[in-house]
């Protein structure tokens, strides 16, 4: 399902396929169905691991968006393909709120 004009991947929006690059639209016909599945293995791969916080580095320039504390444990993880940047996971040193930052 690629755009006939610019060759970008068409995205399903309601009952249409829309090109995010050039705006081309066409209705989804009955033979086309988008199907997405995740497995438990996929979900587990995305979960940040903060097992031994005492050994993890602390970034003292990061501010927690939940409690306002300055400082968070962090680690890097390759969550996407190998040719893309790593993802940095943070965990607040005070409230333990966890978030990620894409490089």
Percent of the chain at pLDDT > 70 equals 74
Scored b (16 or more CB within 10 A) or e, 80-102 reads: eeeeeeebbbbbbbeeeebeeee
pTM: 0.49
At residue 26, φ and ψ (nearest 5 deg) are -155, 150
How much is the average pLDDT of 89-95? 93
Q: Distance between CA 19 and CA 36 in Å, rounded?
A: 19
The mean pLDDT of the chain is 80
């Amino acid at each position: 399902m690629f755009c006939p004009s610019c060759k970008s991947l068409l995205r399903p929006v309601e009952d249409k396929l829309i090109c995010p690059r050039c705006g081309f639209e066409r209705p989804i016909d009955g033979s086309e169905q988008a199907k997405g599945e995740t497995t438990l293995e996929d979900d587990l791969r995305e979960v940040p691991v903060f097992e031994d916080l005492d050994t993890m580095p602390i970034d003292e320039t990061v501010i927690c968006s939940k409690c306002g504390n300055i400082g968070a444990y962090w680690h890097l993880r390759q969550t996407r393909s190998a040719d893309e940047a790593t993802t940095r996971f943070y965990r607040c040193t005070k409230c333990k709120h966890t978030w990620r930052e894409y490089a």
